[in-house]
Amino acid sequence: MMSLAGKKIVLGVSGGIAAYKTPDLVRRLRERGADVRVAITEGGKAFITPLSLQAVSGYPVSDSLLDPAAEAAMGHIELGKWADLVILAPATADLIARVAAGMANDLVTTICLATPAPVAVVPAMNQQMYRNAATQHNLDTLASRGLLIWGPD
């Protein structure tokens, strides 16, 4: 089991059914010694509550780019600087497309642009969407920019 002692991880959760697995992911990362902060998209909140993720991470969940209180506590730029690693899980086809396009229209995509840390993308969607030429093109684009693609292959 690899130690993550002292590693600072930002988990970006988007709106796919696999979001229900994210509390377990946070728990496992913490068991290995990582300090985990969670940012969630609006779509992600349809599948898992920020309160559930706060309970397992030990920190309030960041969910809004324009929340003055959250920005005062640890804003998107600070979250990006703080991270040793950003993990996008689940990464829906929509999130993958927005990151590939360089968009910064929510907290998670903005963190991706603001961080000097490696970004790992964990695609989670049905097989047809995953195999779609547009999705594959977007994943290739991300890989060519140095983002890590973890699975599903």
pLDDT tens digits along 85-104: 999 999 999 999 999 999 99
What's the token pair of residue 95? 């999130």
For residue 152, the model assigns a pLDDT of 79
In a domain, 47, yes or no: yes
> Taking residues 1-23, what's their average pLDDT?
94
In a domain, 133, yes or no: yes
Query: How would you label 42-59 residue by residue, b for 16+ Cβ within 10 Å and e otherwise?
Result: ebbbebbebebbeebbee
In a domain, 3, yes or no: no
In a domain, 2, yes or no: no
In a domain, 98, yes or no: yes
Q: How many domains does the chain have?
A: 1
In a domain, 113, yes or no: yes
- Write out the residue range of the structural domain in which residue 95 sits: 8-149
In a domain, 16, yes or no: yes
CATH number, domain with residue 60: 3.40.50.1950
In a domain, 142, yes or no: yes
Q: What tens digit of pLDDT does each residue of 108-141 get? A: 999 999 999 999 999 999 999 999 999 999 999 9
Element (H, E) at 107: helix 107-114
